[in-house]
Chain A
């Protein structure tokens, strides 16, 4: 039936659409949301280890506090980034009233981000203040110094201890927080449901990629910051390094699969692919790939060695900076990846078959 129709057709034209509706604040938002999730997971996992596994060492509490701190800052950054893009900010701030369309991933995502922020803040406060925290030391406790300057540190400590819920509730809190952290995969769905952009419209690849790369970055950033001050790369550090490395590797794999899909796609996919293989965007792609490959290698190799206690002394000294550098690169590459997703986006042209 259709082929007989085609015999009449004598004109095929393509009306391309602008595909330029978002600025860089959106990739920043998409990224920082998942980084927050990753950092939270780093903090929460360390917290679980300490609370349930009775772990020790200097790194663990640092990971907890840096994790939650980075989560809060990232989430705040994500919020600021996305609001800077909006035309009417107060309507976003009053989102429970305005954002009523729960079929929209932006609505879903807003709740996730807000709730994650709230829980992360709670967990952070609980980790920073109280009698136990007062007795600890580590760079991650610097907010205590700030509060102290305000002269209310003892009050805050006492207050926090008074409202601190029992361990069972705390476990639930951190578990729920972890769920919301993983739920930052919504950022990938926000893109994936856009059917007009083949570069985005991959309901498995894009969310998975955003999650793994974002969590890797969040955890990696947490570890890197922690290692900035606690230079020892012990088993715990090694374990986290391996985790970050593996996540990077998985991200690289997913990205590769996605890349081959785009390369073999239709017109708009082709256009996106073309954009990513030319000029500055191509350089960006290389940086992103490098930013995933390096942490994979360093994280797994160094991390495994450290986790198994086989890290040679000589390497250990260089290991810290190496991990910090590669996880720093990972962080940058994650943002770059989202930016590339935006800049290389092409919408299906309107196919005029006349």
Chain B
């Protein structure tokens, strides 16, 4: 599972580049690890938060469920979701199913995505031995290795939880993001904080907004995905 701390992320995209280079992928190919800069507010009440995302290797991987040729597998041994490009038919169903936009497609039409550096290159790691710790010879995750702010971590849930703050752990346990990733809340002291969440350019009666504060159990699937899913 991945962990992300937006307080430490400086939005430098080192993770995106590091991943691309580790897996020998061209610059114009789609990123397996994306960095998005989310802007809110009007100058000077402005905030811009960078977010780094990749495949979350979800415990309930929707991609695995919909893949017709069973090319996508969440491995028993180490929980990494891999793709077998010898079976992939390039139907793109997994891209629709994924709540994080993780699958990417190359010129060959086949799917590839983050494999937690189980191997090198698209589709690598499929069917291979379990992921090893770095000290046992396993590849350290490239994005984790080169994150300037040390904002990205990965590992078994128990280990990652130890590194997370109480607040992050608490809302993870409450079901934030369907328990697929741990994300730190923003530091209270950050500048230009927006005190009124409901005001955040979402209509108050919008189900998406309603999904976020208390009781976000709406049927609005993904929008409430962050909590209670």
| Interchain CB contact under 8 A, A8 and B188 | yes
Interchain CA distance A12-B188 in the complex, whole Å: 14
Looking at chain B, what size class is its interface with the partner chain?
A: 35 or more
**In the complex, how many residues of chain A place their beta carbon closer than 8 angstroms to a beta carbon of chain B?**
56
Q: Which of B120-128, B129-137, B210-218 contacts A (4 or more CB under 8 A)?
A: B210-218
Query: Is A310's CB within 8 Å of the partner chain B?
Result: no
Residues of B within 8 A of A85 (CB): 90-92
> Which one of A100, A193, A270 lies within 8 Å of B66 (CB-CB)?
A193
Is B12 an interface position by the 8 A CB rule?
A: no
Taking a contact as CB atoms under 8 Å apart, the answer to whether A8 and B185 are in contact is: yes
The reply to whether B36 and A15 form a contact with Cβ atoms under 8 Å apart is: yes
The verdict on A11 contacting B65 (CB below 8 Å), with A1-B174, A88-B109 known, is no
A6-B213, A267-B223 in contact; A11/B194 too (CB < 8 A)? yes
- Beta-carbon nearest neighbor of B187 in chain A: A10
Other-chain residue from A6, A88, A270 in contact with B88 (beta carbon distance below 8 A): A88
Return A91 CB to nearest CB of chain B, in Å: 5
- CB contacts under 8 Å to A, within B208-229, are 208, 211-216, 218, 220-227
With an 8 A cutoff between CB atoms, is A17 at the interface? yes
A196–B222 CA distance with the chains assembled, in angstroms: 6
Q: Is the pair A267, B208 in contact by a Cβ cutoff of 8 Å?
A: yes
Bound CA span A9–B193, Å: 9
Asked if residues A2 and B174 are in contact (CB atoms below 8 Å), the reply is yes
| Contacts between the two chains (Cβ within 8 Å), count | 213
In whole angstroms, how far apart are the Cα atoms of A280 and B211 in the complex? 31
A2 & B227 in contact (Cβ 8 Å cutoff)? yes
In B100-155, which residues have CB < 8 Å from any A CB? 100-101, 105, 108-110
Q: Is the CB of A87 within 8 A of B101?
A: no
A194 within 8 A of B: yes
Q: Report if A351-B225 is in contact (Cβ < 8 Å); known contacts: A101-B68, A196-B97, A266-B208.
A: yes
Given contacts A10-B188, A10-B193, A21-B95, contact A3 B223 (CB under 8 A): no
A98 CA / B39 CA spacing, docked (Å): 44
The residue on B at minimum CB distance from A345 is B96
Distance in angstroms from B41 CB to nearest chain A CB is 10
Chain B residues numbered 189-214 whose CB sits less than 8 Å from any CB in chain A: 190, 193-195, 197, 200, 202, 206-208, 211-214
Checking B38, B47, B88, B216 against A15 with a beta-carbon cut-off of 8 angstroms, the contacting residue is B38
5 contacts between A and B (CB under 8 A): A5-B174, A101-B66, A104-B66, A196-B99, A351-B222
